[in-house]
Amino acid sequence: MASLLITNHSLSSADAAAALRSRLKTFRAAYDSCQRTRRWRSPKAAVIPTIHLPMRSLEVKNRTSVDDIKCLRLITAIKTPYLPDGRFDLEAYDSLMHMQIVNGAEGVIVGGTTGEGHLMSWDEHIMLIGHTVNCFGSSVKVIGNTGSNSTREAIHATEQGFAVGMHAALHINPYYGKTSMQGMVSHFETVLSMGPTIIYNVPSRTGQDIPPAVIQTVSLNPNMAGVKECMGNDRIKDYVNKGITIWSGNDDECHDARWASGATGVISVASNLIPGLMHEIMFRGRNPSLKAKAMPLIKWLFREPNPIGLNTALAQLGVIRPVFRLPYVPLPRERRLEFLGIVAALGRENFVGEKDVQVLDDDDFVLLGRY
């Protein structure tokens, strides 16, 4: 319109500009009138749960099925050992993995709370998942902890985890910056779209319980493998009665969860130390005497927040270097002395490694703030 006005030689440039402003005012008034009469509506497509490209048929064929994950009975939340400079000690890690496999563990959680995923960069995290798959993926199911309180971050990490071959993902509910019940559902449904998933409920760490209504909603998703549940065996039994696969997240309750409440198995910390005994507890039926035999060790492990006890015990057994990434520090000497008695009572042969258990001096431990 402006070009027509300006090319009309009967009008001066000033007249053309005035005519243009007049026409624009007319259009703007009509537009504003239209906008005032239109009712604003909230966008209905604000949440897009499935934005991922569909996998090609060959990729789908080679993926682990949800049913393959649902049948796992002993899953170890594997420890991540360190070198004195803070890098991963992959030689020690591979040795820990080997001991898990030969003692009957069927799956491992890589980079979970026990594995100190929260102290890793995502590059370290994904590298360790890929390393575990590459070295041991044909012998054990590798479940990568790719959860986060940021949905965007959880999506990205889970994409990378499945890209390097993990068999399933472990996802926690958003912690610290907590969300609503519907927010939890949206968060989980978004990450569930990518592959087999175990949801982890541990309110003592997240500050927020995942209520049964949320679990029942997301359990309809075909990629939902089950729940690692830390809220007790009554809730586990209720879920099992509704057909939801459950792993106990508490070593001290896992015997009864398995044999009285119907849990499929346990995701265990203690199996880092006594994988053979934990396998027996999960596979060989009710055994109250074995449960009682293991209980002093389990209580000792969790006097301080996990993985402090585990890290200390593995160092005392000589299977990892006594290197801690802060903020974790070893148990005090008196607790380390207690561990010697626990090992003697259970039998050194039931623990990982072959070296004699030691007390270790305080100066033997390396504490790293930068690595």
Strands (E), the chain: 74-77, 107-110, 141-145, 168-172, 197-201, 224-229, 246-248, 265-268, 323-325, 366-368
The residue among 162, 154, 165, 219 whose CA lies nearest residue 190 is 154
Which residue out of 228, 239, 291, 328 is catalytically annotated? 228
* SS3 at position 227: strand
By DSSP bridging, strand 141-145 and strand 107-110 are parallel
Kindly tell me the burial class for residue 187, based on how many C-beta atoms sit within 10 Å of its own C-beta (0-12, 13-18, 19 or more). buried
CB of 334 closer than 8 Å to CB of 291: no
260: Cβ contacts below 8 Å, ≥ 6 apart? 233, 237
Is position 178 annotated as part of the catalytic site?
Answer: no
| Cα radius of gyration rounded to whole Å, the chain | 28
Q: Is 228 annotated as catalytic?
A: yes
DSSP 263-327: --EEEESGGGT-HHHHHHHHHS---HHHHHHHHHHHHHHTSSSTTHHHHHHHHHTTSS-SEEETT
Residue 126: which residues within 8 A CB-CB, separation 6 or more?
A: 144, 157, 160, 161, 164
CA 154 to chain centroid, in Å, comes to 9
8 A C-beta contact, residue 147 and residue 169 = yes
Catalytic residue (one of 93, 200, 239, 328)? 200
Q: What single string gives the DSSP state of each residue in 69-106?
A: HHT--EEEE----B-TTSSB-HHHHHHHHHHHHHTT--
Q: Which residues are catalytic?
A: 200, 228
